Amino acid sequence: MQFFSGNALSDIIAVIRNEQGVGISSVDGELIIVLLATEGTVIDQQPVMMRSGIAIFGNLPFGSYTVLARHSSLDPTEARQDVALQDNVMVGVKFIYTESERRLLRIELQEERLDA
């Protein structure tokens, strides 16, 4: 596990969407859970927000992380994306599913500097 080194902290935002870009927060009445891992160990987890389908992991030190979206009714039941987090950035990880089949279509990444 990495600890704060005096550098600027960063954020990872996980977003769950359908193919039309609409937020998905739950399937069959059960919230989708997003986990954050580093070096193979889960360091945080949270359900996505009910209204937006978003989970926010803030104030993270730079390093390598894995973002996982998990739900027993999705295919696959656990989707993962590795992220190399730099200082003072926000990284968005968008998991896009087909709503009818509940199948993962793709994962998109976006990075923005927080000091720009």
The whole-model pTM stands at: 0.90
How is the chain split into domains, by residue range? 10-91
Q: How does pLDDT run across 60-112, given as a tens digit for each residue?
A: 999 999 999 999 999 999 999 999 999 999 999 999 999 899 999 999 999 99
CATH code 2.60.40.10 for 10-91: yes
Residue with tokens 């087909």: 98
DSSP string, 50-74: TTT-EEEEEEEPSEEEEEEEE-TTS
- Using CA atoms, how far apart are residues 97 and 95, in angstroms rounded to an integer? 7
pLDDT band at 7 (very low <50, low <70, confident <90, very high): low
